[in-house]
Amino acid sequence: MRKRKGFTLLELMIVVVILGVLALIAVPALLNAVEESKESTVSGNVSAAASTVSSRLAIGATIETAGGGANDIVALLNASSENPFTGAAAFVSGACGAGEVGITDNGDDSFTITGCDGAGDQLISKTVYAPTDSAINL
């Protein structure tokens, strides 16, 4: 009698079922990780915008405003960033949309910087104030 080498059909089916169960567990986790990484990018863009606005206010640079937003800051930041959800511009003047960071001039030497998730819902918001003379202690 000759010995057969290989696996039976039942053994192969069990392996396929196990791989299917592992895929059912892994795929949603991976899709969620992609969404979270895009939202983290938006949060990083908000921090970058807040840092840029804060720096410009601290050195006394004028920030041109038109239409309720800081257009020169938006243009400066869009030169090196893109929207993680759409690939378009990441920064806009005024309210934010899907994956965008909106920069709004509050008119009182402060700016509100808001980041939105892929659905356009607010994800994070920061307000940056111009430094006052009493805040600078040398």
Long-range contacts of 69-75 (CB under 8 A, 24+ apart): 69/93, 69/94, 69/102, 69/103, 69/104, 69/105, 70/103, 70/105, 70/111, 73/49, 73/103, 74/103
| pLDDT reported for residue 64 | 56
Residue whose tokens read 């800051």? 73
User: Which band of pLDDT confidence, cut at 50, 70 and 90, is reported for residue 5?
Assistant: confident
Handedness of CA 54, 56, 62, 67 (dihedral sign): negative
Can you give the pTM of this predicted structure?
Answer: 0.72
Beta bridge partners of 92: 102
The phi and psi torsions of 62 (rounded to 5 degrees) equal -80, 140
- pLDDT category at 80 given cuts 50, 70, 90 is confident
CA 59, 60, 65, 69 torsion-angle sign = positive
Q: Which helix (H) or strand (E) holds 39?
A: helix 9-58
